Structures are given as structure tokens and as C-alpha cells.
Amino acid sequence: MSGWALGFTLGAVVVVAVVALVVPILLLAARIGRQAQAIDDSLQKSVTHTAGLSHLHTTIEHALTIIDGLKRGRTRLGG
């Protein structure tokens, strides 16, 4: 085998090896990208669905005020 043929063959082997290593990595990256998009969509929905919880402290404060008023009313009525 002459020098250029040997070089060409080795070059082809290297290219095939690199492709064999890179293709699975690219396929995995594409799968991760699809999953990441689904996860992001789910998290966005969670943000929307739980936005009302930010007002929970205010709701609790109002409920406590109402309960205190009811307790005062009960005390005044002798109960």
C-alpha cells in the first residue's frame, strides 16, 4: 500500500470514529432539548396555577381579623 492510500485509509477511519462518537452525543442533546422544553412548559403552567398563593398571607390576615371580631362578639354576648 502506498503512502497516500494508507493516509487516506487512516483518515477515513478517523472520520468514521469521530462520527460514531459525535452522532450519539447529538441525538442525546436533541432528546434533552425536547425534554427541557416540556419541563419549561410545565414550570410555566405551575407559575400560573400557583400565582394566587402569593396573596395567601393577606387572606390569612383577613381571616384572623374576622375570627377576632367573632370572638369579641361572642364575649359581649356572654358566650
Instruction: Write the pLDDT tens digit of every residue in 33-77.
Output: 999 999 999 999 999 999 989 899 999 999 999 999 999 999 999
Task: Provide the domain count of the chain.
Answer: 1
Structure pTM? Answer: 0.50
Helix then strand count (H, E) for the chain reads: 2, 0
Task: Supply the range of the domain harboring residue 57.
Answer: 3-76
How far is it, in rounded angstroms, from Cα 38 to Cα 32?
10
Helices (H), 1-79: 3-49, 56-76
Instruction: Write the pLDDT tens digit of every residue in 9-18.
Output: 999 999 999 9
How far is it, in rounded angstroms, from Cα 19 to Cα 31?
18
Residue 41 confidence (pLDDT): 93
User: Is pLDDT at 1 greater than 80 in this prediction?
Assistant: no
